[in-house]
Amino acid sequence: MVKQGEAPYRTNDPFQSIYAVRAGSFKTVLMHRDGCEQVTGFHFAGDSLGLDGVCSSRHSCDAIAMEASNAWIIPFNLPEAMCREI
C-alpha cells in the first residue's frame, strides 16, 4: 500500500524493481531546478512503473501516489532471469 502523496521511488534512487499498479493511481514527475514540477505520465491499475531505471540503473523521475494505491513490487532480477532461461 502506498498512501496519497508518498512515492515508491524518487529520482536517482537505485533501480531494483518494477511496480505493477493493482489499484489507485500514480503520476510520474520530473522536478526542475527552479522547483517546477513536470508531469510525465499517469499510471492506473494494470500499468507498470519503474521501467525508467532499466538502462541507467537509477530512476529518472518520481512516482507519486495520487490517492491511496496498491502496487506489487517485482524485483527486476526475477523477470531478467526468466528471460535468460527462455
CATH number, domain at 52?
A: 2.60.120.10
C-alpha cell at 57: 540503473
Say yes or no to pLDDT of 81 above 80.
Answer: no
Buried b (16+ CB within 10 A) or exposed e, 20-50: bbeebbbbbbeeeeeeeeeeeeebeeeeebb
Task: Count up the domains in the chain and report the number.
Answer: 1
- Tell me whether residue 12 is in a domain: no
Please report whether residue 10 resides in a domain: no
Chain segment 3-48, per-residue pLDDT in tens: 999 999 999 999 999 999 999 999 999 988 898 999 999 999 999 9
> What is the structure's pLDDT at 71?
95
Distance, CA of 63 to CA of 12 (rounded, Å): 12
Does residue 8 fall inside a structural domain?
A: no
pLDDT of residue 84: 80
Domain range holding 50? 17-85
Single-letter amino acid, residue 53: G
Alpha helix locations (H) across 1-86? Answer: 77-85
Residue 5 falls within a domain, yes or no?
A: no
Instruction: State residue 4's pLDDT score.
Output: 97
Taking residues 66-82, report their average pLDDT. 87
pTM score of the predicted model? 0.84
